[in-house]
Amino acid sequence: MEHEEQRGSTEYWWGPSAFPTDLDVLVEVHNLEGLTWAKFNAPILICMTNGIDPWLGDNNELAPLVDGWPCFSQCHVDLLASQRPVDKEKCFVTGLGVNLHHEEASYKMPGRLFFSNDPARGLWHVLDIYDKLAVTDKSLHIGYDFYKQLEARRWQATATAELLWECKRRIETTAGVVSLGNLSQSDLVREELECQVHAMPSDPPNLGSQIHGITQMECAAAGAALVLSDTEAFPEIFGGAATILPLPGTYLPEHNRRYDAQDWAEVIEELMKDPARLQEASHNARALAEQHTWARVVENWEKMLEVLALKALGEKAEELAV
């Protein structure tokens, strides 16, 4: 018989073959597969998905059982409800948070850009922008394990694989570009603190994969100026504290023009060359991060659980009255 492991004052972890089944709240993470191999008894079922493609049964027959869907953003809510058989009224924007262990930096590395996402989400755009930056002492640090991601895709017959091969060539031949590989927590924080501008022209391969931006929020906590694309949830989450631009290659009929890497480079140059604007952008980013803490996420979860508990009690009272 496996026993629980206590990892906190009220936190217990159980093995895969011995665990409680009578619960107050059951939280299924990403999909509802757990419902197929265990008989749980809980008045509240929550499905916490980090995207819009949770498994809800072979024919989505388990979806109606869910009482609440915690979502990272309103964009997450809208996409989940439009793409899957999810009742929008059961969705709650609980958000994501960051630990504010970054001290607001008084010094940034001049000309420093920092990229720390899956390279398949638009690293080639960042390299294009970097090439066009007309600033001295510019540098681009890549904090994701680029070569590990390339290895997973290198023999695929896809456009993304071809783009990553080209990124490899440019990383290895472009002055000032450094691939850092895996970073420790302390090294990651240092890189975020040294970053002067965090530019993220997010170009995700799948719908619903930019429903927040945890790396961007960490850079905001470090006081980096943010220049982000208008992809999915970015405008909603960061719009008040970031410069939002169309993704390079986007044609906007209302502007009668196509936006490209040069447009991004010019915006970044203006920030880097104007200390007052850079300081204002840094302050705005940090102020935004201070509104997106894990304590705030916990508050949102508590509000969701209160709503669901009251609903469950009401339904139970109706059953008893019949």
Query: 279 and 168, same structural domain?
Result: yes
Could you read off the pLDDT of 175-218 as tens digits, one per residue? 999 999 999 998 999 999 999 999 999 999 899 999 999 999 99
Whether residue 102 is contained in a domain is answered as: no
* Helix residue ranges, H only, 179-293: 185-194, 214-221, 234-238, 261-273, 275-289
Q: 284-297 burial, b if ≥16 CB within 10 A, otherwise e?
A: bbbebbeebbeeeb
Residue 104 structure tokens: 């607001």
**Residue 104 included in any domain:** no
Residues 141, 285, 234, 163, Cα dihedral to 10°: -10
**Any domain includes 106:** no
Give the CA-trace dihedral at 115, 108, 211, 75, to 10 degrees.
-140
Q: Are residues 32 and 140 in the same domain?
A: no
Regarding whether 315 and 174 lie in a shared domain, the answer is: no
How many percent of the chain have pLDDT more than 90?
Answer: 85
Decide if 228 is inside a domain.
yes
User: What global pTM score does this model have?
Assistant: 0.92
Residues 181 and 130 placed together within one structural domain of the fold = yes
Q: Given pLDDT bands bounded at 50, 70 and 90, which one contains residue 315?
A: confident
Confidence of residue 320 (pLDDT cuts 50, 70, 90): low
Print the domain residue range for 308.
5-97+294-321
Q: Give the HSE-up count for residue 174: Cα atoms under 13 Å, Cβ half-sphere.
A: 24
Residue whose structure tokens are 């009401």 = 314
Query: Does some domain include residue 105?
Result: no
Is 43 within the bounds of a domain?
yes
**168-to-119, 172, 179, 193, 271 alpha-carbon distances in Å:** 10, 6, 10, 26, 28
Note whether residue 246 is domain-resident. Answer: yes
Chain segment 95-124, per-residue pLDDT in tens: 999 988 766 555 789 999 999 999 999 999
Pair 128, 88 in one domain: no
Confidence of residue 304 (pLDDT cuts 50, 70, 90): very high
CATH number where 150 lies = 3.40.50.2000
Q: Do residues 233 and 259 both lie within one domain?
A: yes
One domain, residues 306 and 285: no
The total domain count for the chain is 2
Give yes or no: residues 148 and 162 share one domain: yes
- Greatest alpha-carbon span in the chain: 77
Residues 148 and 259 in one domain: yes
* Closest C-alpha among 40, 44, 47, 34 to residue 20: 40
pLDDT tens digits along 259-302:
999 999 999 999 999 999 999 999 999 999 999 999 999 999 99
3-state secondary structure (DSSP) of residue 74: helix
Does 15 lie in the same domain as 49? yes
Residue type, 155: W
Q: Identity (one letter) of the amino acid at 284?
A: N
Cβ contacts of residue 226 below 8 Å, gap of 6+?
Answer: 197, 198, 200, 216, 219, 220, 238, 241, 242, 243, 281, 285
Whether 259 and 307 share a structural domain: no
**pLDDT over 90 at 24, yes or no:** yes
Q: Is 180 helix (H, G, I), strand (E, B) or coil?
A: coil
Same-domain status, 188 and 316: no
Mean pLDDT of the chain: 93
User: What secondary structure does DSSP assign to 3-32, as a single string?
Assistant: --EEEETTEEE--SSS---B-SEEEEESSS
Report if residue 107 sits inside a domain.
no
On whether the CB atoms of residues 60 and 84 are closer than 8 A, the answer is: yes
